[in-house]
Amino acid sequence: MPHVLVLGGTTEARRLAAALAARPDTRVTTSLAGRVTRPAALEGDVRIGGFGGPDGLARWLREHAVTALVDATHPFATAISANAARAARATGVPALALRRPGWRRVPGDDWHDVASLADAAAALPALGRRVFLTTGRLGLAAFAPYDALHFLVRSVEPPEPPLPRDVRILLDRGPYTVDGETALLREHRVDVLVTKDSGGAATAAKLTAARALALPVVVVRRPEPPSGVPVVADVAAVLARLGEAGA
């Protein structure tokens, strides 16, 4: 029986697991890093925790007779994506990367593209003083030195220190609505938004709200996926590729 390992943590990974689990002739296992304490329910088998680097992942692929590997992690999860590519090469297991398309700017957007969180932090003093920070719970140390700014930080789990001195934490999970995001920006008197180019619809409402309020948005560009791993944009494309490979 074909055995597909999905490196998950995204909406697309959950949809892919459900589609594969519906196939009576396919086994699917979704691996989660364990950073979210209450992950959404998943179809098929689920494992929690890391593999111990590319060698550990390669060993797991062999021991569990995996016939295809799908990296459906967050576009910014560069370490696990690199490990997946190396493990696939070492074992000869066919691999795909499932990456939702990035966001596209439209007329009215005031986007400031940067390469990293450090660059995002450095851009803020010239753009505003009240910052809505939606880059997740990791990497906030880049913003800690900016004592003159007020930060509203939203994440699913409590963020890891060090944090900015003047900060308010908002624990919440999408999807979000344009009306809700607009009200939030107004309530907290936000004058600049910071986000990663995660893509997808679940958190895109903040961009529409920022556009309507004429707010600048600092957008951290997503990193390139590892070379040698084909990239597809949706679950249907993954299923088609797996069908072609007999997985």
Residues 21, 72, single domain; the answer is yes
Residues 49, 126, single domain; the answer is no
Residues 89, 127, single domain; the answer is no
CA distances 113 to 10, 120, 174, Å, are: 23, 8, 23
Residues 57, 131, single domain; the answer is no
Question: For residue 226, which of 117, 97, 98 has the smallest C-alpha distance?
Answer: 97
Amino acid 243: pLDDT = 84
- What 3-state class would DSSP assign to 185? helix
CATH of residue 76's domain is 3.40.50.720
CATH of residue 136's domain is 3.40.50
95 neighbors 22 (Cβ within 8 angstroms): no
Q: How far apart are CA 158 and CA 179, in angstroms?
A: 25
Structural domain count of the chain: 2
pLDDT digits (tens, 9 = 90+) for 89-135: 999 999 999 999 999 999 999 999 999 999 999 999 999 999 999 99
Residues 93, 133, single domain; the answer is no
Residues 60, 117, single domain; the answer is no
Domain containing residue 52: 3-101+224-245
Residues 63, 123, single domain; the answer is no
Residues 203, 184, single domain; the answer is yes
Residues 200, 156, single domain; the answer is yes
Q: Which long-range contacts (CB under 8 A, 24 or more apart) does 36-39 make?
A: 36/9, 36/156, 36/157, 37/157, 39/9
Residues 68, 160, single domain; the answer is no
pLDDT digits (tens, 9 = 90+) for 132-145: 999 999 899 999 99
What residue ranges of the chain have pLDDT lower than 50?
A: none
Q: Are strands 216-220 and 130-134 parallel, antiparallel or unpaired?
A: unpaired
Residues 59, 13, single domain; the answer is yes
Q: How far apart are CA 106 and CA 22, in angstroms?
A: 38
Amino acid 142: pLDDT = 97
Return the structure tokens found at 122.
């450095």
pTM, whole model, 2 decimals?
0.88
DSSP H or E segment with residue 78: helix 78-91
Residues 202, 134, single domain; the answer is yes
Return the structure tokens found at 7.
């490196």
